[in-house]
Amino acid sequence: MAIEVIDSADAASLARFDMIIDVRSPAEFAEDHVPGAVNLPVLSNEERAEVGTIYVQESRFRARRIGAAHIARNVAGYLERELADRGGGFQPLIYCWRGGQRSNAMATILDGVGWRTALLAGGYKTYRREVSARLYDAELPHRVVLLEGPTGSGKTELLGLVAARGVQILDLEGLAAHRGSLFGGLPGIDQPSQKMFESRLLGALAALDPTRPVVVESESSKIGERMIPPALWRLMEAAPRIALDAPAEARARYLVAAYREITEEPAALNEVLARVPDRPGRKRLAEWRALAEAGDFEALAGALIALHYDPAYRRASRKDARASLASIALPAVTQADLAAAADRIAGLLVDAGERLPGEPVRA
């Protein structure tokens, strides 16, 4: 049976395969991979380093022989374990770094089994070109609506409530594994690489219906250390917005409840205070740390809101010329407030077929 070679890595081309197999090393896979791909490395991290060293320092022939032995053993293991339950109609797509020896070696074996095996020409690099073209060069077709509001107004939680009501959302902070503020990364989770963030983003965008509105939380152009790609950022800059409004005292209470793991860990809280970009000065920083040591976290959150978050939000709002779809008051930022806000947003956006106020006209 001839091995099929495909040269496109768009979502439609990849969707017809039963399994996308990434045969690169675990380290390469961890940096980035095709969404949904399964890592069945033909060379482990250590084996890849060993073969590379022998290839450069000793003999190309010896490197290939040792590499072939490793590959044969590893693929045999996958046939006995991960692929053991696959029937005769199984259709895998295989790729490596650039469609070279690693993917061809595994494809030859799987083809010999009798499976309808395909190779991605150019490997991961072909896929990466697809990501770059879509997120850097092209215009995305999606209809973005921004959810904005001052810190502590429950935007991230509200995003989930809106999704439960049938509205499309794009959770950028979830994709970037970062809260997009001084409060930093998610507990116990490292941020993905920029490439992995873009892969996650492209996968999420592909799952959305571009004819229906999609709610995106308002962010700066970077979420932690990850940059929002230009194609999406252009949509966000032009998108109409829904603004939340809540009293500072209520937002301070909400922050204390939402970030309890930080208030319970002094070292984590000190890191947050150290990241304040406005240089609060030794005296003010000492006052904030004294509030933390006394357990008066609401007063600390209120101080951060008044002296850092709200001034930054007002500066950004003065420059914002985007159309407003609605302004929603959250008197206490309670679960009831957020549920009512989600109901209102769903009423505005579910099954919205016409162009929204302020939405860019598309050619």
User: Do residues 147 and 244 lie in contact, with contact meaning Cβ atoms separated by under 8 Å?
Assistant: yes
Residue found under tokens 């095709």: 34
> C-alpha 9: how far from its chain's center?
19
User: Do residues 4 and 28 lie in contact, with contact meaning Cβ atoms separated by under 8 Å?
Assistant: no
Q: Which residues pair with 143 in a beta bridge?
A: 213
333 CB-near residues (< 8 Å, 6+ apart): 152, 153, 154, 246, 250, 251, 253, 254
Helix (H, G, I), strand (E, B) or coil at 261: helix
236 in active site: no
198 CB-near residues (< 8 Å, 6+ apart): 32, 131, 135, 229
How many CA atoms are closer than 13 Å to the CA of 166, on its beta-carbon side? 9
> C-alpha 62: how far from its chain's center?
41
What distances in angstroms separate CA 39 from CA 25, 26, 200, 244, one per listed residue? 8, 7, 16, 43
**Sign of the CA dihedral 116, 117, 121, 123?**
positive
Of 37, 54, 83, 96, which is the active-site residue? Answer: 96
**Across the chain, how many H-helices and E-strands are there?**
17, 12
What distances in angstroms separate CA 103 from CA 88, 97, 111, one per listed residue? 20, 8, 12
Active site residues: 96
